[in-house]
Structure 1
Amino acid sequence: MCSHHWIVSGRASLFSEAVGEGDPVVFLHAGICDRRMWRAQLDGVAAYARAIAYDRRGFGQTRYDPEDHSAVADLMAVIDTMAGGKPAILVGCSQGGRIAIDAALRHPERVRALVLISPTVPGAPEAVYPPDLVGPQAELAQAEAAGDLKRVNALKARLFLDGALGSEGRVTGGLRELFLDMNGVALESMPAGANLDAGSTYDRLGEIAAPALILWGSLDYPHIQARCRQVAALMPEATGVEVAGAAHLPSLERPADIAGLLAGFINGCTGHRELAD
């Protein structure tokens, strides 16, 4: 049965949910989603572990007053409350991947393993957009500057859900509605405050000794795909896997594929051999 909790961290009450029993697996959402992006993965992982997800400040149902804060400290509060402080496997997408990397560098004893999906990595090589993406990027920047949140939301669905290399409108129905709702909440939220974890981590990836699985979609931005390959090469215990036909959010598009990859990886980390059957 899924349980819901409010976890206090500074001036925030982080809305969290957990399902299942066993080794803790904590899911960190992308900066264009909230914890709902992990719905299918929570249900799958709960069959063999304790699956935990939460909304960060500025997303979903989390309540907060603006303040300078550490996203890593918020994550540690979630682990303390929902996992009894046990070392956790972190599954992070995009900005969630950045937080997972920060946590592994600052608190290696508390991070058992990492699954990084299309991770943001400060200090990585700058994005270089192919000619056919220069126009859409400029349009997005103009919409953001004008404060046209509806247009920003639609453009982000085009670039991140359909994929920079995918066709416009490729993802339809409930998935598109979910994305627009999740990102719409984030776009309309008040600023959460400065991130105290800011700083380059790209040149420190080699310090992360935890096992890691790096995933990316074949329809994502070319520079993000290249970054993921670089991350997999720089982390000593990492394996990289491309998810064919998916864009920036494979957990939404390819839930069965991601479930299989998670089960195999978590099985290898925790020794639940029955998962291989």
Structure 2
Amino acid sequence: MRTAQILPQAAHVSHFGHGPRPVLALHCTIAHSGAWKGLTRILGEEARFTAPDMLSHGRSPDWDGQGCFQDRILRIAETCLTEGPMDVIGHSFGATVALRLAVEHPERVRSLTLIEPVFFAVAGQDAPELIDSHASDAQPYLDALSAGDRALAARLFNRMWSTASSPRWPDLPEATRAAMIRGIHVVPTMDAALFDDTAGLLAPGRLDRAAMPVLLLRGALTHPVMEAISKGLQRRLPDAKEEVIEGAGHMLPITHPEETAAHIRTLWSRAG
């Protein structure tokens, strides 16, 4: 374990595996770098994972509220690209940061795995009715957050991205619930980056820079908006393939690590 220095705040970075292939893994919101443990147990002989904790998550300090949160996490991720071209994996919000890395530093990214990327601006262009559906589903957690009830907000947000077979809130470990409550206030601050594409990734020709092999991975039971995002990115990226894991929802790297690892292995063989 080490700490990556970045102004004005530092982020904790975890390391897993001891294989020859260098990988950068970026977790989803209200999780932490430990969310990759199931996947790294499977792939740890083949790869070594660098996995930072986002600010307000895991062992990293609370975000100071300055600037754009996605920009801040991008800067942290950039400091972790230390071993030449790396295979980059991102989940949910982490996948949107991974996509920015691939566009802004294509020479440093060997392959790109985007697991359920919540880049809602894509669906905003392709299927705006699904954005409306997502907004309706998200409103209860936003109302709770506005009322100052972070515990309820985290519970409702977690439910929105869960499946029928997911553990219920009372069944989650207390430490897991506390971590979700700690980070939930950060989620709506990402809206400009995710819905309005403030980084300009959808500008004409911009995604062409991400010409490396790309895997778009989603769960069959996830929110309907995710299919529109995944298929929209597949059309826009030069070398992208989409795969769907049956029986999985949004949290598929945690719930279905074996299937996730199999698809990643296929991508890595394609990337060389």
Instruction: Please classify the TM superposition score into its range, dividing by the shorter chain length.
Output: 0.7 to 0.9
Q: Which moved more, 1:91-100 or 1:254-263?
A: 254-263
The CA deviation string for residues 208-256 of structure 1, in whole angstroms up to 9 with x for no partner, is: 2010000111111111111101111221111001111111111111111
The CA deviation string for residues 89-136 of structure 1, in whole angstroms up to 9 with x for no partner, is: 110011111111111111111111100011122632325359987764
Q: Which moved more, 1:220-229 or 1:55-64?
A: 55-64
Query: Residues 183-194 of structure 1 correspond to what in structure 2 (within 5 A)?
Result: 183-187=180-184
Q: Is this contact kept in 2: 1:58–1:192, CA < 8 A?
A: no
Residue 15 of structure 1 and its aligned partner are, at CA, apart by 1.0
Q: Is this contact kept in 2: 1:34–1:59, CA < 8 A?
A: yes
Unpaired runs of 5+ in structure 1? Answer: 271-277
Find the residue that maps to 1:17 and give its secondary structure. strand
Q: Is this contact kept in 2: 1:94–1:119, CA < 8 A?
A: yes
Structure 1 residues 229 and 46, CA gap change in structure 2 (3 angstroms): same
Q: Distance in 1 between the 2:19 and 2:10 partners?
A: 24
2:250 matches 1:248 = yes
Structure 1 residues 210 and 182, CA gap change in structure 2 (3 angstroms): farther
Q: Distance in 2 between the 1:225 and 1:151 partners?
A: 28
Structure 1 residues 141 and 268, CA gap change in structure 2 (3 angstroms): same
Residue 155 of structure 1 and its aligned partner are, at CA, apart by 0.9
Find the residue that maps to 2:49 and give its secondary structure. strand
Taking only the aligned residue pairs, the percentage that are identical comes to 20
Paired residues in the alignment total 257
Q: Distance in 2 between the 1:118 and 1:53 partners?
A: 18
Q: Distance in 2 between the 1:185 and 1:32 partners?
A: 8
Residue 192 of structure 1 and its aligned partner are, at CA, apart by 9.8
Q: Is this contact kept in 2: 1:122–1:202, CA < 8 A?
A: no
Aligned partner of 1:13 among 1, 10, 13: 10
Residue 72 of structure 1 and its aligned partner are, at CA, apart by 2.2
Paired position in structure 2 for 1:219: 221
Paired position in structure 2 for 1:236: 238
Residue 173 of structure 1 and its aligned partner are, at CA, apart by 7.4
Amino acid in the other structure paired with 2:144: A
Normalising by structure 1, what TM-score? 0.81
Q: Is this contact kept in 2: 1:251–1:258, CA < 8 A?
A: yes
Paired position in structure 2 for 1:259: 261
Query: Residues 23-172 of structure 1 correspond to what in structure 2 (within 5 A)?
Result: 23-63=21-61, 66=64, 67-68=66-67, 70-80=72-82, 83=83, 86-121=84-119, 123-126=121-124, 128-129=129-130, 136-162=137-163, 167=164, 170-172=165-167
Residue 187 of structure 1 and its aligned partner are, at CA, apart by 2.7
Find the residue that maps to 2:56 and give its secondary structure. coil
Q: Distance in 2 between the 1:130 and 1:200 partners?
A: 19
Find the residue that maps to 1:142 and give its secondary structure. helix
Normalising by structure 2, what TM-score? 0.83
RMSD (Å), alpha carbons: 3.1
Structure 1 residues 52 and 171, CA gap change in structure 2 (3 angstroms): same
Structure 1 residues 129 and 108, CA gap change in structure 2 (3 angstroms): closer
Q: Is this contact kept in 2: 1:11–1:64, CA < 8 A?
A: no
Q: Distance in 1 between the 2:133 and 2:100 partners?
A: 33
Paired position in structure 1 for 2:200: 200
Q: Is this contact kept in 1: 2:145–2:185, CA < 8 A?
A: no
Aligned partner of 2:212 among 204, 210, 213: 210
Unpaired runs of 5+ in structure 2? Answer: none
